[in-house]
Amino acid sequence: MSSPFARTALTKATSLMRAGGSSAIPKKGGGNSLNGEPRNDLIKKVLFDAPPRPPVRLSPEDMTRHETIERAWKLVRQQQKQAQEEGLARKFEMMRKANAELEATSAQLFKHSQTKERHAVFPRQLRTLTDTPPKQIWNYRQPAAAPSPKA
Amino acid sequence: MSSILRTQVLRTAVRSLATATRSQIQVTPARLTVAARSYTSAAAPAPLKSNISSTSSAVVSSTKDLIINSQRIVAGAVVSRQPLILRDLTPFEKEYFLYQKNLERDHAAAFGAEFYFKKGSVAERRWKQQEAERQAAAASGASSTSTGAKGSRSSKGAEAVQDEVTEEDRVAALEAKIQFNDRITDADRKNDVRSLERALARTLYLIVKKPREQHAWQFPQGGVRVCENLQEATGRELAEECGSNMDLWFVGRVPIGHYQYNFPKDFVAKSSNTAVKGAKVFFMKAHIFAGQVQVDNKEVVDFAWVTKQEMKDYVAPEYYEAVKDMLSDF
């Protein structure tokens, strides 16, 4: 019937209402409110007494239109994902062939290429993509002043 | 008497305890001190420490080229500048997102404006204005397309009472104006291929120009030495040919592609080592985070940061066919 979660929510609500509302001694100002705050009544009303979302009613034409749009979207997303996967597969194949060639060429170079760096981390400079660029788009660093003498 | 003794004993005990603990604290080992870190985001942050791993063979470094089976082993660099902004939406994507937004708004639960807006505030007045405009737009029969509310809002503002206008202005002055930067930069407009601020939504790859007629444009590359690994060789060659003013990060030690070619006959005849007939290039992937290329004008005379599609116009056709699968379409 009703899930345990619904039951606890209801009991929580009623306990809140009871805690806030029913005091035998009438208070000045806010009426039946916790700490005399009428805002808490409004908050409780918005949280617990708000009417539920009405069910979506679409006419048959609107329904077919909506379904067609959704199918078109899914198709486009599928094509995009397929293209991405194909691109990755091509990259992987190139990498695999290069490594096979390296293995056949030089055992020393191959061994170094296959051993992973133990404490490798992502660089902090890997930027999260945003809608618009920052004020300073690219940092064209100046080169170091002079090479150290011990070099 | 006993109480005096007790207090004396207690006092000495406390004193001894305090001194004991104090001495312990004074003997703080060095590792407990935290190294000073600067958390300030400076305009020019510290350059990235290179993640090139050196070969553990502690042999004296030699400059001898690595040649195997009469083929020189060459390390090439595919240096990419990753996109900095999200890609542009296709027209279908824009329409679909707009459709979803309107659908969500049409079928959403009632919004308690009296809860979110203070009675008589400027924000409440603005909200009521926007709601009225939305009702008007919905009534006039615009089903999927939303009308621009800015024009009607400004006209309504002009008709407002004097008091409301001044309050609006006061609030508007306090609000922070958000300025968005342009997605199309100057480099895009000038089509400056050497700039790293061009095509912000795309991946750019570095290609360099060698002073010759055939196969002039290619990825930067150079011969691997006998005591080197591929990553080291790539880093060294990039520093020599493209300067050291680049913040590079190598994506692992694994090569992402290879390319084999034979030297032209006259080149083999002219070269010092006639046993070498060709070269085998292994490409290593790197990202650039800051800085710019500085050509040495000896081996390399020019450079360009191009997308995968633009590279076709620069490099030789057979080279492009050999390397294109390593590169991102986007």
Percent of chain A at pLDDT > 90 equals 48
Alpha-carbon span B86 to A130, nearest angstrom: 6
B168 exposure class (CB count in 10 Å sphere: 0-12, 13-18, 19+): middle
Per-residue pLDDT, A34: 66
pLDDT (tens digit per residue) in B192-207: 999 999 999 999 999 9
With an 8 Å Cβ cutoff, are B292 and A72 in contact?
no
> Does pLDDT of A17 surpass 80?
no
Min distance A48 CA to chain B CA atoms (Å): 13
Rounded CA-CA distance B180/B167 in Å is 26
Q: How far apart are CA B309 and CA B306, in angstroms?
A: 8
| Residue with the larger pLDDT of the pair B7 and A93 | A93
Q: Do B68 and A106 touch (CB under 8 A)?
A: yes
For residues B250 and B285, the answer to whether their CB atoms sit within 8 Å is: yes
User: In the prediction, which pLDDT does B258 show?
Assistant: 97
Q: Would the CB atoms of B291 and A144 count as touching at under 8 Å? A: no
C-beta of residue B72 within 8 angstroms of C-beta of residue B268: no
Determine, yes or no, domain membership for A78.
yes
* Averaged confidence pLDDT in chain B: 82
pLDDT for the residue numbered B3: 65
Query: Confidence band (pLDDT; 50, 70, 90) for B13?
Result: low
Closest CA to A119 of B38, B256, B53: B53
- What is the pLDDT at residue B149? 40
In a domain, A20, yes or no: no
Average pLDDT (B176-180) is: 85
What mean pLDDT is predicted for residues B215-225? Answer: 95
Q: Under a CB-based contact definition with an 8 Å cutoff, are residues B159 and B171 in contact?
A: no
> Choosing among A68, A69, A109, A114, which should be mutated to test the B contact, i.e. which has the most B CBs within 10 A?
A109
Inter-chain residue contact B253 with A112, CB threshold 8 Å: yes
Instruction: State the pLDDT at residue B59.
Output: 59
The pLDDT of residue B116 is 85
Is the pLDDT at A25 greater than 90, yes or no? no
Q: In chain B, pLDDT over 70 holds for what percent of residues?
A: 76
pLDDT tens, position by position, B138-149: 788 755 544 444
User: Taking residues B94-101, what's their average pLDDT?
Assistant: 96
Q: Is residue A123 part of a domain?
A: no
Q: What is the pLDDT of residues A71-116, one digit of tens each?
A: 999 999 999 999 999 999 999 999 999 999 999 999 999 999 999 9
The predicted model gives A64-75 an average pLDDT of: 97
The count of C-alpha atoms lying within 13 angstroms of the C-alpha of B272, restricted to the half-sphere facing its C-beta, is: 2
- Looking at residue B223, its amino acid is G
Strand partners, B37: none
pLDDT at A58 over 60: yes
B89 interaction partners in chain A (CB closer than 8 Å): none
Q: How large is the angle between the packed helices B91-106 and A60-105, nearest 10 degrees?
A: 130
CA gap B218, B210 in Å, rounded: 8
A111 inside domain = yes
Between A151 and B105, name the one with better pLDDT: B105
Mean of all residue pLDDT scores within chain A: 79
Of B229, B257, B326, nearest to A112 by CB-CB distance is: B229
**Chain B interface, mutation test: which of A42, A56, A141, A142, most B Cβ atoms within 10 Å?**
A141
Q: Which of A45, A76, A94 to mutate to test the interface with B (most CBs of B within 10 A)?
A: A94
Are the C-beta atoms of B233 and B222 separated by less than 8 Å?
A: yes
The rounded distance, in Å, linking the Cα atoms of B204 and B218 is 14
Q: Is residue A3 part of a domain?
A: no
**pLDDT tens digits, one per residue of B230-289:** 999 999 999 999 999 999 999 999 999 999 999 988 888 888 878 899 999 999 999 999
CATH code: domain B67-85+194-326 is: 3.90.79.10
**Quick one: pLDDT at residue B100?**
96
Q: What is the pLDDT of residue B264?
A: 87
Give the rounded distance of the alpha carbon of B193 from its chain centre.
Answer: 18
On chain B, the residues whose CB falls within 8 A of the CB of A139 are 44-45, 290-291
Note whether B68 and B226 are within 8 A (CB): no
> Of B44, B112, B244, which is closest to A143 when you measure between CB atoms?
B244
pLDDT tens digit sequence for B21-49: 444 444 444 444 444 454 544 445 566 77
What 8-state DSSP symbol labels residue A143? Answer: P
**Number of CB pairs < 8 Å for A and B?**
162
Helix/strand/coil (H, E, C) string of chain B?
Answer: CHHHHHHHHHHHHHHHHHHHHHHHHHCCCHHHCCCCCCCCCCCCCCCCCCCCCCCCCCCCCCCCECEECCEEEEEEEEEEECCCECCCCCHHHHHHHHHHHHHHHHCCCCCCHHHHCCCCCHHHHHHHHHHHHHHHHHHCCCCCCCCCHHHHHHHHHHHCCHHHHHHHHHHHHHCCCCCCCCCCCHHHHHCCCCCCCCCCCCCEEEEEECCCCCCCEECCEEECECCCCHHHHHHHHHHHHHCCCEEEEECCCCCCEEEEEECCHHHHHHCCCCCCCEEEEEEEEEEEEEECCCCCCCCCCEEEEECCCHHHHCCCHHHHHHHHHHCCCC
Residue A93 lies in a domain: yes
Cα of B278 to nearest chain A Cα, Å: 14
Give this prediction's pTM.
0.73
Flag if A140 and B196 touch (Cβ within 8 Å). Answer: yes
- pLDDT value of residue B162: 58
Provide ipTM, 2 decimals: 0.73
Res. B12 pLDDT band, cuts 50 70 90: low
- Total count of domains within chain A: 1
Average pLDDT over residues A138-142: 89
* The pLDDT of residue A51: 73
Q: Exposed/middle/buried for B74, CB within 10 Å: 0-12, 13-18, 19+?
A: buried
Residues in B touching A42 (Cβ below 8 Å): 114-115
Band of the pLDDT at B186, cuts 50, 70, 90?
Answer: very high
Of A97, A115, A129, the CB nearest to B86: A129
Q: Which domain holds residue A109?
A: 62-115
When mean pLDDT is compared over A18-32, A74-88, A129-143, B58-72, the highest value belongs to A74-88
